[in-house]
Amino acid sequence: MLSLLWCLFGIGAGIIFGIIPGAGPFLAIASLYSILLYGTPVDILIFYVSLLITCNYMNSITGILYGIPGDAAAAVTAHHGHRLLLKGEGHMAVSSNAVSSTIGTMFAVGLFLFFLPSIYDVFKFYNSTVQVVIISVAIILLTLTSHQSLWKTILLFMFGGVLAKIGFDNLTHKTWGTFGIDYLTLGIPFSAVMIGLYVLPEVLKFHKKDFSDRQKITKFGYSPKTIPSTLVGSFVGFWCGLVPGVTNILGSYLSAGFFKSDLNKIASAESANNSGALSSLLPLIILGIPIVTSEILIFYLVASKGFVFNLESLSLFSNVLYYIPFVVLTCLILSWVGFNYLALITEIYKKHKTLFSISILFIITFVSLSIYPLTEWLLICLFSLCAIGYTIRDWNTFPVLYGYFLTDLFWDNLMRVIVIYT
């Protein structure tokens, strides 16, 4: 019964943070971090999966209504869904989003259960050498698929990598980039990088967006012709979700590129988004490798409870799967039948954008300060990186986050490979 409450808690958080532009799972977890500390590892995972699935449904509501994606993975639906809305076919965009998201989620669950008996055979080859290759491919793909100048993407990626390497290296037991400054041996806190170089620019971008008048969806409809594109998206998204740095974002873009019509693009992108979001949990649960930013917080939360990430932990994670059909059914009803009612949340955000923007930044900053042991160092990093983030607020700063995590992950595995083969 208590676990069901955590599931409902995740759904509720997913509704709010999914609809508000620029929020999403990371801000939800960061804002509710102190509450999540009271949960068991399984309860936290149930909350996270419920939150993740719900956010993936809800972020398309703002996208279809206003053409503003709730996050990067919802960009395809925002672009093509809003275009359908303006043509008077918004009901088709809504149904395609809801049904395809449901199919994509259940497709991932089905594949997970299918591979569960032989999951060890799949992941025993996932050694350091393979990780170096996969991460290298992911870095190249992310760089080439960025929607901005190549030099900006490369610069931001390298900047994120430099920030990640500053401080004491647990592998070599040496410091790098500290210039004799004691504070720098602690490294640059991820929360400061996230707030200053990603959250702040994103909040400022959405704050400048002009919301058009909301149009109500007055009828229902669904096209069975989207089923093939939905299945293709589910398959592509699942395997993209397993690749560090690629996840559901590239899976969403990649699968949508296979089709021409707006409706099929939405179907393939949303099914890939939801399928990839779930499959990306496997490297976290089995190998302890967080792939997306929200998984970093989940990793710290459950690890602090004594949870060990390995193949044996799959038995615990499999208990989470029983809640997914309930979450999916709830989200299907909410995002299809209750579309117009949920749109009211976006209306409130539209009228009070400044208050929401300040609140989001304040909450996540306050939580970060309460968690990080050395407040003054975090504040120094926050002010410095916020100044940089404000300067490049019009850039797509997402490569900084990938650079921060992938560079460190790539470097550690590369060092192991060098040791093994020399």
For residues 246 and 383, the model is more confident at: 383
pLDDT, tens digit, 9 for 90 and up, residues 262-305:
778 888 888 888 888 888 777 777 666 666 667 777 877 777 77
Asked whether the beta carbons of 84 and 262 are under 8 A apart, the reply is yes
Band (pLDDT 50/70/90 cuts) for residue 172 is low
For residue 259, pLDDT beyond 70: yes
Whole-structure pTM value: 0.68
Cβ atoms of residues 45 and 92 within 8 Å: no
Check residues 231 and 285 and name the one with the higher pLDDT.
231
Confidence of residue 33 (pLDDT cuts 50, 70, 90): confident
Do residues 109 and 103 lie in contact, with contact meaning Cβ atoms separated by under 8 Å?
Answer: no
Q: How far apart are CA 81 and CA 203, in angstroms?
A: 22
Question: What are the pLDDT digits (tens) for 313-327?
Answer: 666 666 777 888 889
Question: What is the per-residue pLDDT for 171?
Answer: 59
Give the mean model confidence (pLDDT) for residues 86-90. 74
Mean pLDDT for the stretch of residues 145-154? 80
Alpha-carbon 92 to chain mean position: 26
The position carrying tokens 């988004």 is 273
Q: What is the pLDDT of residue 246?
A: 52
120, pLDDT greater than 70: no
Helix/strand/coil percentages in the chain, nearest 5: 75, 0, 20
Query: What is the spatial distance between Cα 361 and Cα 257, in angstroms, rounded to a whole number?
Result: 35
Cβ(10)–Cβ(50) below 8 Å: yes
Of 64 and 141, which is predicted with more confidence?
A: 64
The pLDDT, as a whole number, for residue 384 is 93
Residue pLDDT, tens place only, 348-375: 766 777 777 777 677 767 767 776 778 8
Q: Looking at per-residue confidence, does 345 or 270 come out higher?
A: 270
pLDDT at 130: 67
Counting other chains too, the contacts that 162-170 makes at CB distance below 8 Å and 24 or more residues apart are 163/188, 163/193, 163/400, 163/403, 163/404, 164/188, 164/403, 164/404, 164/405, 164/407, 164/408, 165/407, 165/408, 165/411
Q: What residues have CB less than 8 Å from 387, skipping those under 6 apart?
A: 196
Backbone angles phi, psi at 169, to 5 degrees: -95, 115
Average pLDDT, the chain: 77
Q: pLDDT at position 300, please?
A: 75
Tell me the per-residue pLDDT of 303-314, one tens digit each, with 9 for 90 and over. 777 776 666 666
Burial of 40 (0-12, 13-18, 19+ CB in 10 A): middle
What pLDDT, on the 0 to 100 scale, is given for residue 70?
A: 63
Range among 167-176, 211-220, 245-254 with highest mean pLDDT value:
167-176
User: Where does residue 411 rank: exposed (0-12), middle (13-18), buried (19+ CB within 10 A)?
Assistant: middle
- Read off the pLDDT band of 388 (50, 70, 90): very high
Count of other CB atoms within 10 angstroms of residue 304: 11
Burial class, 126, CB count within 10 angstroms (exposed 0-12 / middle 13-18 / buried 19+): middle
Q: Percent of the chain scored above 90 by pLDDT? A: 5
